[in-house]
Structure 1
Amino acid sequence: MTASASAVDMLQLAARAADAKGGEDLVALDVSGPLPLVDIFLLVSGRNERNVAAIADEIEERLLEAGHKRLRREGRQEARWVLLDFGDLVVHVFHDEERTYYGLERLWKDCPVVPVTLDAPATAE
């Protein structure tokens, strides 16, 4: 299986939101093979708890504005690892230390990487 076009669109929107708030080391993995209910994991690092919270808030706000429904949010209070579940897209915003400790890239190393585009989409005039 491969990630759906709508999941890739959500990914690009989330990636641009993360980048706007200083998100670092963005990695997207196509997990649709091993996880039939999810298409893509987006992994993002923040420098500190405040940055992690700001990144997660911006991603959530942009996806909600675009009409995507959030199914679940976890970890916002501590802001060390915030999980945002939008169905086809699950975003993991990590503090650097948690990202290294949990190593989701190692856990899902057999999953293909999905390219992340940080440029804003061109608008028709």
Structure 2
Amino acid sequence: MNDKLKAIVEGIESKKGKDAVVLDLAGKNSVAEYFVICTGSSEPNLKAIVDEVEDKMEGLKETRLRIEGYNEGKWAILDYGDIMVHVFLEETRKFYNLENLWNQSEILYRG
């Protein structure tokens, strides 16, 4: 994994994010090269994970292009251009089931 992906995973794990997965989507879509998916245990935990990932990426001088869902507290997507970080509450993650949608992708990390 590259330094950005490592920093994202470290941020997730430091805030007790669960079931982190890094999918390699290079050449499979036009949205991003990598999806990072994890689960937060509650709305405050989800927001803490997002905030920590943003801090880690700022430390690498990476600029977030956009964020979606943060205020709703059931999911959040951080767009870093080549990497999309998806943080879900458990029931929302099951509903969207991104791992199944992209099941042909190589798994670079599973926490």
Task: Please classify the TM superposition score into its range, dividing by the shorter chain length.
Answer: over 0.9
**Structure 2: gaps spanning 5 or more residues:** none
Number of equivalenced pairs:
111
Structure with more of its chain in strand, by fraction: 2
Q: Which amino acid aligns with 2:19?
A: D
Residue matched to 2:64: 70
Residue matched to 2:53: 59
Q: Which amino acid aligns with 2:77?
A: L
Residue matched to 1:11: 5
RMSD: 1.5
What is the alpha-carbon distance in structure 2 between the residues aligned to residue 46 and residue 11 of structure 1? 18
SS in 2 for 1:34: coil
In the TM superposition, 1:1-125 aligns within 5 A as 8-115=2-109
Percent identity over paired residues: 36
Deviation at 1:79, TM superposition (A): 1.5
Point out 4+ residue stretches in structure 1 off by more than 3 angstroms. none
- In the superposition, the TM-score normalised over structure 2's length comes to 0.93
Deviation at 1:34, TM superposition (A): 1.4
CA spacing shift, 1:110–1:73, aligned 2, 3 Å: same
What is the alpha-carbon distance in structure 2 between the residues aligned to residue 20 and residue 104 of structure 1? 23
What is the alpha-carbon distance in structure 1 between the residues aligned to residue 87 and residue 64 of structure 2? 15
- 1:29-71 Cα shifts (integer Å, max 9, x gaps): 0111212451110001001111101001100111012100100
Preserved contact between residue 22 and residue 108 of structure 2 (Cα < 8 Å): yes
- In the superposition, the TM-score normalised over structure 1's length comes to 0.83
Preserved contact between residue 78 and residue 86 of structure 2 (Cα < 8 Å): yes
